[in-house]
Amino acid sequence: MDPSDQKHFTVVDYVIFAVLLGASMCIGLYYALSGGRQRTTQEFLMADRSMSCLPVSLSLIASFQSAVAIIGVPAEIYSHGTQYWFIGCAYALGLFIPAHVFIPVLYRLQLSSAYQYLELRFSKAVRTCGTVTFIFQTVVYMGICVYTPAFALNAVTGFELWGAVLATGLVCTLYTTLGGLKAVIWTDVFQTLVMFAGQLAVIVVGVYRTGGVSEVWTKVWEGNRISGLDLNPDPTERHTFWTLAVGGVFLMLSLYGVNQAQVQRYLSARTEKEAVRSCYMAFPSLQLALALSCVMGLVMFARYCGDDLTDKLGSSSRDAMVIYFVMDMLQGLPGLPGLFVACLFSAALSTISSAFNSLATVTMEDLIKPHFPAMSEARATLLSKVLAMSYGLLCLAMAYLTHLMGDSVLQVALKIFGMVGGPILGLFCLGMFFPWANSIGAVVGLGAGLATSFWIGIGSIATHSSGTRPLPSNCIPVLLTNSATAAIQSALRNTTLSHPSALKRFYSLSYMWYSAFNSFTVIIIGLIISFVTGPMKEEDVTPGTVYPLVGKLLCFLPEHLKKKLCCVTPLGQTLSSQQSQPPEQKEISGWGLQQDRGASPGEMESFLPDGHTRLVEHETTV
Ligand SMILES: O=C(O)CCCC[C@@H]1SC[C@@H]2NC(=O)N[C@@H]21
Ligand code: NA
């Protein structure tokens, strides 16, 4: 990028950006100094299970709406048209199933970490495998989220790259470490609003400067960027209605159903009903976030298609082009470039803080506490803060690794979710829907799922069959005009159109199918191994850890047949955690309530730090 074309910030922009970081810090400090002052893990990691549905729902959006979406989705729409928008069709089921299947099971078990479920249902080994897999996925994802905004800004504005990464990482680590989950959730609320405001500003100014709505629509229509309903059933087709609306459901379930960051938010709600309501309330906000980023891509297309930006942007990826577009639109409007940079970093901060906090929680609850049961509350809380800090530093290192990955951060992020989140989703489904599944089946199933997903993932990179479709000839996006890239495009067109071997087709499976494909692999392998090594019996399964899915699907069968199929266990009772737990119970419920095999589902046995046990009668509401 030659300096003459670099867009510069005015003082006002820097002030706005500093105000955003400052506001996040203040919210973090407020929660460090108010309430219980973050002195128990229940408060630091679970917000005292006192949150209401509005902040939880906005925090649910913020967790997986980072700069990757703010930059990656417009770049996707610019290059491939609005096909990606169909992922919105996956949001309905993608939130309905978590609200009515995963939340009831996980909430009634009163867990702190989603992976405690795996020990209750299977064994400690399965829990550890799930936790380690989640940690790997989140650390890689965090790296992408820290790197994306800094890289894009640096490419266009010369904004000091590693200075921005450091500023983001440190501010985020600080307020997360000081304020715990309460600070993370309330900064998420503030940052989500900044995110929406920033994107809206770019859209309004962009439409105005491109000649108004009708002008934008005409250019977009003629550039055939409005993709119709592509019902092509070919699973290697990168984006079709099926890969996005159906494959997308499994992606949503892996994130909003079983991902620790989201499960922790559900469990921080003061009642189960509040948690379900927050899931429902996330739907409109998710649709709004998707619409804003897609429209931004369309306005960008209306603005540049046909112009030649290659000389301006050089070899940097199309992701950087989004920032160029924003800076181009907002030039001369002091404060607005700063607002968009604040939007970008809000997106990044809200995701990274959720990642830090969930990593600290699972490391504490799943990997440390079980080995140090006598650890004092103060020491446990201090250790949680040290963990949040160390994950922060690890994240900066991962940011550098992202530097080495390909372009299109959106695709990289979605691939990670499919490759790692998919098998974890399969593991939870295996446990919740199939009472016969045993621990050996679960571990082998997870291993098979991860092995398959990395085999496809690496295979697709090796054979360059990332499924990029040839673009419509009438408007080769401006960044592809240079001959080298065009040559790759035509070479790619020839190889993929030649007779692809079965293996090549396997490698070119759309990454939007990874979540579905990998979760089914875990379930099928897990069931086979379970039946081979002796399936579990109904009475052996911890009550409250199985969702009678098969029973509900086969509701037409007579009761005695369903009993034979051992799939009619009633789910645990609806809990309102505040009423059901006596106050002294609170500080240890994060230790996971061990079910006494003999206790009836309504009774939960909990282990006190001093080794005594207490039967807690949970109120049962219909
Ligand atoms: O923005 C990111 O950090 C990740 C990319 C989007 C992740 C998925 S896409 C479907 C769902 N909707 C969102 O807003 N995020 C998740
Ligand atoms: Na975010």
Q: Are 230 and 100 in contact (CB under 8 A)?
A: no
Same domain, 561 and 433: no
Say if 38 falls within a structural domain. Answer: no
Has residue 140 been placed in a domain?
A: yes
Tell me, yes or no, whether 509 lies in a domain: yes
Closest ligand to 61 CA?
A: 1
Tokens for 217, please give them.
Answer: 């629509």
Closest C-alpha to ligand 1, atom 14: 65
Nearest CA to ligand 1 atom 16: 64
Give the whole-angstrom CA distance, residue 159 versus residue 21: 16
Instruction: Starting from the CA of residue 411, give the closest ligand.
Output: 1
Same domain, 508 and 574: no
Return the closest-CA partner of residue 303 out of 181, 412, 220, 421. Answer: 220
For residues 544 and 496, membership in a common domain is answered with no
Same domain, yes or no: 144 and 206: yes
| C-alpha 269 to ligand 1 mean position (Å) | 22
User: Quick check: is 500 in a domain?
Assistant: yes
Residues 194 and 91 in one domain: yes
CATH of the domain at 141: 1.20.1730.10
Low-confidence spans in the chain with pLDDT less than 70: 1-7, 155-156, 158-159, 161, 306-317, 401-407, 464-500, 562-622
Question: What is the dihedral angle through the alpha carbons of 500, 503, 506, 511, rounded to the nearest 10 degrees?
Answer: -90
Beta-carbon contacts of residue 109 (< 8 Å; ≥ 6 apart): 116, 117, 120, 544, 545, 572, 593
> Which among 474, 507, 532 is the end of a domain?
532
pLDDT at 395: 76
Q: Ligand 1 centre from 458 Cα, in Å?
A: 22
Give the residue numbers spanning the domain of 560: 538-621
Query: How many A from CA of 349 to the centre of ligand 2?
Result: 6
pTM value > 0.90: no
What is the rounded distance in angstroms from the CA atom of residue 148 to the CA atom of residue 136? Answer: 19
The closest of 133, 87, 151, 132 to 348, measured between CA atoms, is 151
- Considering the domain architecture, whether residues 431 and 542 belong to the same structural domain is answered as no
- Helices H / strands E in the chain, number of each: 28, 2
280 in the same domain as 168: yes
Residues 525 and 542 in one domain: no
Provide the pLDDT for residue 600.
38
The distance of Cα 319 from the centroid of its chain, to the nearest Å, equals: 20
The pLDDT assigned to 114 comes to 93
Of 515, 532, 549, which residue sits at a domain end? Answer: 532
Helix (H, G, I), strand (E, B) or coil at 582: coil
On the 0-12 / 13-18 / 19+ scale of CB atoms within 10 A, 137 is: buried
251/247 Cα distance (integer angstroms): 7
Question: For 398-429, what is the HEC assignment?
Answer: HHHHHCCCCCCHHHHHHHHHHHHHHHHHHHHH
Residue 369: what pLDDT? 87
Residue where a domain stops, chosen among 485, 515, 532: 532
103 with 142, same domain: the answer is yes
Residue 33 lies inside a defined structural domain of this protein:
no
- Identify the bridge partners of residue 607 per DSSP, sorted by sequence position: 613
Evaluate whether ipTM surpasses 0.85.
yes
DSSP category for residue 599: S
Q: Is 406 exposed, middle or buried (0-12, 13-18, 19+ CB in 10 A)?
A: exposed
> Residue written as tokens 């990044």?
348
240/313 same-domain check: yes
363, 310: one domain? yes
Same domain as 415, residue 550: no
Within 13 Å, how many C-alpha atoms sit on residue 20's CB side? 32
In this structure, is residue 345 part of a structural domain?
yes
Q: Structural domain tally of the chain?
A: 2
Indicate whether 418 belongs to any domain: yes
Classify residue 34: in a domain, yes or no: no
Query: Ligand 1 pocket by C-beta < 6 Å: which residues?
Result: 64-66, 68-69, 87, 145, 255, 286, 289, 351, 410, 413
Count CB atoms within 10 A of the CB of residue 393. 11
